[in-house]
Structure 1
Amino acid sequence: MFRKILIIISIAIFITACGDDEAAGFDPAKHVRPIKTYKVTSVKRMDVRTYPGKIRAGKKVDTSFILSGSLVVLNVKEGDYVEKGSLIAKLDDASYKHNLNTIKAQVEEATLAFQRAKKLWISNAISKADYDKAKSAYDVLQSQKELAEKSLRDTSLYAPFSGYIAKRYVDNFQTVSAGAPIASVQNIKEIEVVVNIPESLIMNSSQNLDYKAYAVFEVPFNKQYEMELKEVGTEADPVTQTYPVKFIMPSPDEITVLPGMTVAAKIVVSESYDEGEFEIPESAVFSDSSGKIFVWVLDENMTVHKREVKTDGLKNNSVLVLGGLKEGEEIASAGIQHLVEGLEVKRFEKPENLK
């Protein structure tokens, strides 16, 4: 029995001695550890926000006469499509025609009188004053004729551009005043999307921020269309503290979009950093007892080296690095507590941001 105990103790001592020898001979620098890595790149930080928007016509005009009178022609009704230059309405032009004919007769007389005066002045039969008087009378009547012709033309109202009649404000044979709206013409080949943007987004805008805006329609299948910024209002709504922002876009061909419809406006905000600033995973950084922040950087031989970095805040599980890293460098992004200086590693897989 005593002999068996001695044998067991001897075996245990032998095993322990062998284990100590292996531990003493273990070199972390020669141990290849698989790790996850991250490629340092100057990617932009994205922020997506969605706001309700309202569709408006890209171009809309309330047409009106510059003269007063009675309507004798009203060629349009709401919903009609009109080509640029087509007749919308016409005023009774009888008095304007009569006035033009009267002035034309006076112009003919003044023309003959001026021609006679010119011949007489050349032959020194009349004074320069008499010649100037005849010429002045002719010039005045010519101007009156041009005004009368314009007034006659202004009795007809034409479409300023091709589009649809959104609203008709009057009926035919009605007496209208100068400047009173007759019909509203709108062009919906290009549409306007009006979105009320919170003041916080307006305040945070800077040269480092890029915006892309999309109109998202439920039909077909939440398809989105890129929009172009048209203008930003500078007066906030006193209740909502939002600012009206207008975007423009071509009207989609595959769906019918009309003014007054609602649409979701998706605003994609991307922020670019200054040179030497990067976002890296929170799991890639660690600190020492002094509070300094470090990362493990891989060299060309796939060994890791501890490097101090300057950071500024945490957002969405990412750390903003202000200094200490260069574009294209590769860092350990997980399992950093198992790494030591000079340890040889291998990639567990592609850098997580390059998959």
Structure 2
Amino acid sequence: MWFFLIGIAIGVIVWKFVIIPKQENSNGSSKAKKPLTHTVKRDTIKETLTISGELDAEEKITPRFQSSGLISWIGVKEGDFVKKYQLIATLDQKEQKKNLEKYLNTYLDTRWDFEQEKDEYRQPAQKYWGLTWDQRNEIDRALEQAQFDLNNAVLDVELKDILLKYTTLTSPINGIVTKVAAPVAGVYATATQAEFEVINPDSLYFSLLPDQTEVTKLTSSMSAQIIFDSYPDEKVIGTVQNIAFIPKSGETNTVYEVKIVYPLNDESHTKYRIGMTGDATFTILEKPDVLSIPLSFLKTEKDKKYVTKLTGTKKEKMYVETGIESDTAVEITGGLAEGDVIYD
């Protein structure tokens, strides 16, 4: 009885750990050995170039006051939309207005002095022709000096008027306020502390930085398909607007900025934002109705390209000539014919 039970146990162990694994290995190896085939056919093949980039804006400004002062009023906050020439903030104008009034009084005083000089020197010089040349020159110099003083007084008034205008800050573009460095009025701030940032969402463009080998393949008005990382299921068609002539400074490699514009609408203002990244794909070359095979079937041997071709019932190495390539396929220009069967 015991011998019978031991025999059954040994049989189970042999079946589980010897026979079953052999069958599984046999099945797996047969599946692995089954080769992949492909029938050569004609297709449209595209050579593409994909470059990563990010969104930027053509109209992006940082308005700031020209001088320091007490901020008396702030009329915007981050996220507000402003129109061109809209008032953003003001500095306290009391001091500037008083200075302008003071220099206006100085101008009037200088003006009266100038008129007095004319009355004292010019009229006698015209009435009495017996004056010497030295006396005439002295009169002319006195009048010229009075004119210079008057001109300087006018310039002082104009300069103070300019400083008064500098106490108001306006936006030179339409756009969204993205930064308010001093959001509270009633504090003293320098010109750099009281700055704002305004970006026009209608001037968005997709910025690329191709290197010197890639930029030569691009041309103005070339079409590009953009896929943003934020919207991977959406494709946006854009057009190359500008290709920089000089490399972009501050980069470690030699790269050139390429600007791509795309259709914008009201939804774009909230959908697309500065700094969003994505990929732009260009079709460099497209050939319809050419022989092509998947890239995975193409092999290389000593700088020569070949495929494994079925000839009759035998497989043989067939050297081929190739043309353009896409991400998944390659054009065959020689060595194969339509209908040939090749192996991976």
TM-score (norm 1): 0.58
Per the alignment, residue 153 of structure 2 pairs with: 141
Aligned to 1:72: 72
- Secondary structure, in 3 states, of the residue corresponding to 1:64? coil
Q: Is the 8 A contact 1:79 1:164 kept in 2?
A: yes
Deviation at 1:92, TM superposition (A): 1.2
Partner residue in 1 for 2:53: 53
- Cα drift, residue 220 of structure 1: 9.9
Q: Which amino acid aligns with 2:180?
A: R
Partner of 2:241: 229
The answer to whether the 8 A contact 2:221-2:240 is kept is no
Change (3 A) 1:156 1:167: same
Whole-angstrom CA distance in 2 between matches of 1:269 and 1:210: 13
2:202 matched residue in structure 1: 189
Q: In the alignment, which residue of structure 2 is the partner of 1:81?
A: 81
Q: Which residue of the partner structure matches residue 112 of structure 1?
A: 112
SS of 1:63's equivalent? Answer: coil
Q: Is the 8 A contact 1:68 1:176 kept in 2?
A: yes
- Within 2, Cα distance between the matches of 1:53 and 1:161? 25
Give the match's secondary structure for 1:317.
strand
> Is residue 54–residue 193 contact of structure 1 (8 Å, CA) maintained in 2?
yes
Pairing 1:263–2:278 present:
yes
Map Cα deviations across residues 175-211 of structure 1 (whole Å, 9 max, x no partner). 2223445110110112021234355423x5388x984
Contact 2:243 2:259 in 1 (8 A): yes
Q: Quick one: distance in 2 between partners of 1:210 and 1:76?
A: 38
Whole-angstrom CA distance in 1 between matches of 2:194 and 2:251 = 29
* 193-202 or 67-76, larger mean C-alpha shift: 193-202
1:151 aligned residue: 163
Report the alpha carbon displacement of residue 226 of structure 1 after superposing the two structures with TM.
1.5
How many residues align structurally? 245
- The unaligned stretches of length 5 or more in structure 1 are 1-37, 272-277, 284-311, 321-332, 336-355
Aligned to 2:323, which of 303, 308, 314? 314
Whether the 8 Å contact between 1:81 and 1:164 is mirrored in structure 2 is yes
Distance 1:210 1:282 in 2: 30
Q: State the AA in 2 paired with 1:222.
A: E
Tell me how far apart the structure 2 counterparts of residues 108 and 314 of structure 1 sit (CA, whole Å).
85
- Choose from 198, 215, 219 the match for 2:226: 215
Q: State the Cα distance separating 1:93 from its structure 2 match.
A: 1.6
Q: Which has the higher helix share?
A: 2
TM superposition shift of 1:229: 3.4
Q: Is the 8 A contact 1:215 1:226 kept in 2?
A: yes
SS in 1 for 2:76: coil
Does the CA contact (< 8 Å) of 1:191 and 1:250 recur in 2? no
- 1:17-65 deviation line (CA, Å, top 9, x unaligned): xxxxxxxxxxxxxxxxxxxxx9xxxx9x842233333222331111111
User: What runs of 5+ residues in structure 2 fail to find an aligned partner?
Assistant: 1-41, 126-135, 293-320, 325-329, 340-344
Query: What is the match of residue 168 of structure 1?
Result: 180
Q: Does the aligned pair in 1 maintain the 2:70–2:189 contact within 8 Å?
A: yes
Does the residue aligned with 2:117 lie in a helix, a strand or coil? helix
Query: For 2:109, what is the secondary structure of its paired residue?
Result: helix
Deviates more, 1:171-180 or 1:218-227: 218-227
3-state DSSP of counterpart to 1:152: helix
From the superposition, tell whether residues 78 and 151 of structure 1 become closer, same or farther in structure 2 (CA, over 3 Å).
same
8 Å CA contact 1:52–1:195 kept in 2: the answer is: yes
Q: What residue is the counterpart of 1:132 in the other structure?
A: 144
Match of 2:32 in 1: none
Match of 1:349 in 2: none
Please give the TM-score of this superposition, normalised by the length of structure 2.
0.60
Rounded to whole Å, the distance in 2 between the matches of 1:210 and 1:230 is 8
SS across alignment from 1:131: helix
Q: Deviations over 1:154-194 (max 9, x none)?
A: 01111111111011111322222234451101101120212
> Aligned in 2, Cα 1:117/1:319: closer, same or farther, shift over 3 Å?
farther
Structure 1 residues 318 and 114 mapped into 2: Cα distance closer, same or farther (>3 Å)?
farther
Q: Which amino acid aligns with 2:165?
A: R
What secondary structure, in the 3-state scheme, does the structure 2 residue paired with 1:110 have? helix
> Residue by residue, what CA displacement relative to the aligned partner does 1:220-266 show, whole Å, maximum 9, x if unpaired?
9624232333344445854x886554333453444422213233322
Residues 283-331 of structure 1, C-alpha deviations (whole Å, 9 max, x = no match): 9xxxxxxxxxxxxxxxxxxxxxxxxxxxx963332549xxxxxxxxxxx
Q: Does the Cα contact within 8 Å between 2:60 and 2:200 map onto a contact in 1?
A: yes
SS at match of 2:143: helix
8 Å CA contact 1:280, 1:319 repeated in 2: no
Q: CA RMSD in A?
A: 3.6
Q: Which residue of 2 aligns with 1:292?
A: none
